[in-house]
């Protein structure tokens, strides 16, 4: 190889290794597919809200409150292990949400953690609330995302037969779980109209999306940082209320391998932890990873903002 070729190769390596900026100047390219999809889902959800108030049966509204678990704590962070029956259930729950396949979700989420709040983060909170909440779905990916996502290792996910099945049959599996069954079941079992069932389901889907998006936006901008002030994620009680415990985000980004995603589980607001604990009681979830109290306190003392009450009381004895 010639010296010139060596120099070119080194320049390419340096370009890849260079850490992405927080929010460099960027010419947004509108994703018309994203605009059309989000436009329809939100208009349908607004109509679904109207129907929920005026004509939907109460059973239809209750049925449309979805449950999600697995893609985040189990497969993205491998914070616990699950038996085959639980994995199938969690894969089907995730399919109800239409947020990529699990394999794609894991790849995007690991990229988010590795380059959080930089241009390589798909929903970079450094670009403001709207972009990190919804705007990132309306534009083409930043070049840093496109470049670095190929470096993310998801071999554990792609080798999982349950997740491979979902990816191979993504359209029928996700279509059935997210759109067909939530529409057909109310029609068959309690005589709901197709129009009402469909639009109330669109409301469910939109609420699920916005619940997840609040973690990307509000929980990266507003709140306290009791464990690490050097990162953007925060502790946000309102987000925890909206999304079943994922608002303890400063804790989660500090200790991403903890299956509880919150100190001591915070089970009052953390329904996902309660669900995993219940599955562990049945023997379906096991090898649950946690962080010791001493490690939590030491980290809060070292890098926290002083709002961690246990540390605050000990330091000020």
Report the mean per-residue pLDDT for the chain: 82
Q: pLDDT-derived band of residue 59, with 50, 70 and 90 as boundaries?
A: low
| Phi, psi at 30, each rounded to 5° | -65, 135
pLDDT for 4 equals 46
pLDDT for 267 equals 64
Q: Residue ranges per domain, the chain?
A: 31-116+126-216, 224-317
| Three-class secondary structure of residue 19 per DSSP | coil
pLDDT for 23 equals 64
Residue bearing the bigger pLDDT, 6 or 302: 302
Encoded tokens for 306? 């002083």
CB-based contact 272:69 (threshold 8 Å): yes
pLDDT for 130 equals 93
How far CA 172 is from CA of 59, 63, 124, 166, in Å, comes to: 26, 21, 31, 9
CA distance 314 to 293: 13
Query: Residue 305 above 90 pLDDT?
Result: no
CA distance 212 to 182: 20
Q: pLDDT-derived band of residue 113, with 50, 70 and 90 as boundaries?
A: very high
Give one DSSP letter per residue of 236-262, joined into a string. Answer: -HHHHHHHTTTTBHHHHHHSTT-TTSS
Q: What is the pLDDT of residues 243-280, one digit of tens each?
A: 766 778 999 999 999 998 887 766 666 778 888 898 99
| Three-class secondary structure of residue 79 per DSSP | coil
Query: Residue 192 above 70 pLDDT?
Result: yes
Give the range with max mean pLDDT: 43-47, 52-56, 64-68.
Answer: 43-47
Question: If you average pLDDT over residues 62-85, what whole number do you get?
Answer: 77
Query: Residue 104 above 90 pLDDT?
Result: yes
Expressed in percent and rounded to 5, the helix, strand and coil fractions of the chain are: 65, 5, 35
CA distance 188 to 176: 15
Least confident segment among 80-94, 169-183, 247-261, 299-313: 299-313
Q: Nearest CA to 61 among 254, 220, 196, 258?
A: 196
| Three-class secondary structure of residue 224 per DSSP | strand
Query: Residue 1 above 50 pLDDT?
Result: no
Least confident segment among 5-9, 31-35, 99-103, 186-190: 5-9
- Model-wide pTM > 0.95: no
Query: Residue 157 above 90 pLDDT?
Result: yes
How far CA 32 is from CA of 112, 140, 210, in Å, comes to: 24, 9, 20
CB-based contact 137:82 (threshold 8 Å): no
Q: Quick one: what percent of the chain has pLDDT higher than 90?
A: 30
Q: How far is CA 126 from the centre of its chain?
A: 18
């Amino acid at each position: 190889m010639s010296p010139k070729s060596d120099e070119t190769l080194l320049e390419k390596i340096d370009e890849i290794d260079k850490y992405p900026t927080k929010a460099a100047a960027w010419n947004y390219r509108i994703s018309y597919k994203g605009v059309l999809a989000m436009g329809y889902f939100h208009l349908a959800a607004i109509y679904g809200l109207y129907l929920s108030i005026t004509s939907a049966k109460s059973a239809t509204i209750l049925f449309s409150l979805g449950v999600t678990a697995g893609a985040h704590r189990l497969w993205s962070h491998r914070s616990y292990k699950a038996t085959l029956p639980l994995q199938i259930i969690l894969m089907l729950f995730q399919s109800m949400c239409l947020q990529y396949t699990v394999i794609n979700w894991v790849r995007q989420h690991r990229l988010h953690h590795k380059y959080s709040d930089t241009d390589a983060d798909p929903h970079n909170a450094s670009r403001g609330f709207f972009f990190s909440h919804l705007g990132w779905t309306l534009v083409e990916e930043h070049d840093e995302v496109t470049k670095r996502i190929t470096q993310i290792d998801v071999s554990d996910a792609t080798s999982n037969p349950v997740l491979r099945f979902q990816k191979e049959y993504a359209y029928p599996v996700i279509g059935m779980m997210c759109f067909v069954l939530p529409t057909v079941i109310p029609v068959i079992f309690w005589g709901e109209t197709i129009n009402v069932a469909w639009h109330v389901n669109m409301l469910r889907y939109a609420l699920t999306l916005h619940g997840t998006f609040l973690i990307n936006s509000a929980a990266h901008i507003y709140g306290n940082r009791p464990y690490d002030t050097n990162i953007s994620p925060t502790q946000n009680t309102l987000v925890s209320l909206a999304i079943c415990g994922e608002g303890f985000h400063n804790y989660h980004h500090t200790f991403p391998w903890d299956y509880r995603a919150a100190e001591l589980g915070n089970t009052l607001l953390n329904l996902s932890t309660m669900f995993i604990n219940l599955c562990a009681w049945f023997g379906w979830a096991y090898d649950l990873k946690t962080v010791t109290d001493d490690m939590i306190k030491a980290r809060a003392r070292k890098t926290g903002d002083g709002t961690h009450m246990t540390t605050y009381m000990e330091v000020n004895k």
